[in-house]
């Protein structure tokens, strides 16, 4: 019977990065709520600097919220001891923003890396697993190549294979489409959907690529000014009248998300008075 309780739950989370003086900086997140169930592929969208990567860092336990709770598989990420956090992280797969391959390692060794780091499997088992993961992304035949010998789109697929090498229960993709041509982008999107379904994982895809994401995800959250300003299924989002959503989908420069960074009055700034 499928378990319908959320695999990931973020409740009332507020966060600011500490500054060099030890004081807290600008508020990045204020009362964020988000859940992801097993088997669900969820998009977290928002403009650059809206805090999307920060949400993933909170889930990985790299940073700690000042308020609220972050749970993964029922466990509070920020109440884990070292061992507990290590075990949780081992079950998380991550495709990092701008995540590149290790350029001095073959495609095979890139995918084998997490298996060698986190397991004591014999090399024959590692070989089978690596070839299986590469096959899942259509690149088994490229296992002996070096990253410099494959295209950007192929590199991204190798990075996907590496992210899922340990069969993670939670997979986080940070801007997986960045810098890809339209064809590679479509292939990567379909692949993320297929990998999610094959793993039965809870997946979060952080992106500002609205149209490609709406085609593959089950649910969408919009982050702006530290809050979830809209959420819904792709159909609900497409039909949404919410100004943030309209601005995001339409790509219009003005709307609730300002084009201008807050600035003093222009004339005053130029010393012209009024």
- Cα 218 to Cα 39: distance, rounded to the nearest angstrom: 9
As a three-state string, the secondary structure of 1-49 is CCCCCCCEEEEEEEEEEECCCCCEEEEEEEEEEEEECCCCEEEEECCCC
φ, ψ for residue 79 (rounded to 5)?
Answer: -110, 10
Residue 76: its H or E element? strand 75-76
Residue in 49, 138, 141, 253 binding ligand ADP, rule: CB under 6 A? 49
Query: Does position 53 bind Mg ion by CB under 5 A?
Result: yes
- Cα 3 to Cα 19: distance, rounded to the nearest angstrom: 41
Q: Which stretch binds ligand ADP (CB under 6 A): 45-53, 79-87, 238-246, 249-257?
A: 45-53
Among ligand ADP, Mg ion, none, residue 4 binds (CB under 5-8 Å by kind): none
Binding pattern for the stretch 3-32 against ligand ADP, x by CB under 6 A and - elsewhere: --------------x-------x--x----
Residue in 48, 120, 124, 148 binding ligand ADP, rule: CB under 6 A? 48
Q: Which stretch binds Mg ion (CB under 5 A): 65-73, 92-100, 156-164, 232-240?
A: 92-100
Q: Which stretch binds Mg ion (CB under 5 A): 93-101, 145-153, 156-164, 196-204?
A: 93-101
Smallest distance from the beta carbon of 192 to ligand ADP, in angstroms? 18
Residue 88: its H or E element? helix 82-90
- Cα 160 to Cα 192: distance, rounded to the nearest angstrom: 8
Interface residues with Mg ion (CB under 5 A) are 53, 97
């Amino acid at each position: 019977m499928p378990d319908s309780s959320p695999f990931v739950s973020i409740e009332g989370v507020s966060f600011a990065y500490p500054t060099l003086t030890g004081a807290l900086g600008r508020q990045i997140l204020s009362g964020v709520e988000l859940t992801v169930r097993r088997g669900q592929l969820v998009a977290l969208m928002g403009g650059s600097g809206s805090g999307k990567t920060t949400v993933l860092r909170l889930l990985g336990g790299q940073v700690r919220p000042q308020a609220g709770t972050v749970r993964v598989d029922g466990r509070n990420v920020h109440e884990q001891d070292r061992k507990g956090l290590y075990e949780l992280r081992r079950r998380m797969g991550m495709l990092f923003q701008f995540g590149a391959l290790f350029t001095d390692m073959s495609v095979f060794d890139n995918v084998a890396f997490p298996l060698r780091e986190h397991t004591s499997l014999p090399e024959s088992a590692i070989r089978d697993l690596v070839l299986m993961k590469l096959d899942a992304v259509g690149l088994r035949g490229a296992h002996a190549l070096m990253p410099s010998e494959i295209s950007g789109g192929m590199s991204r697929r190798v990075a996907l294979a590496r992210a899922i090498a340990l069969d993670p229960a939670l997979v986080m993709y940070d801007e997986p489409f960045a810098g890809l041509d339209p064809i590679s982008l479509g292939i990567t999107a379909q692949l993320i959907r297929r990998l999610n379904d094959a793993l039965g994982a809870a997946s979060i895809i952080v992106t500002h690529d609205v149209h490609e994401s709406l085609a593959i995800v089950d649910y969408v959250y919009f982050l702006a000014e530290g809050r979830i300003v809209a959420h819904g299924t792709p159909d609900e989002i497409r039909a949404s009248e919410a100004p943030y959503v309209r601005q995001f989908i339409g790509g219009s420069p003005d709307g609730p998300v300002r084009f201008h960074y807050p600035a003093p009055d222009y004339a005053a700034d130029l010393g012209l008075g009024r």
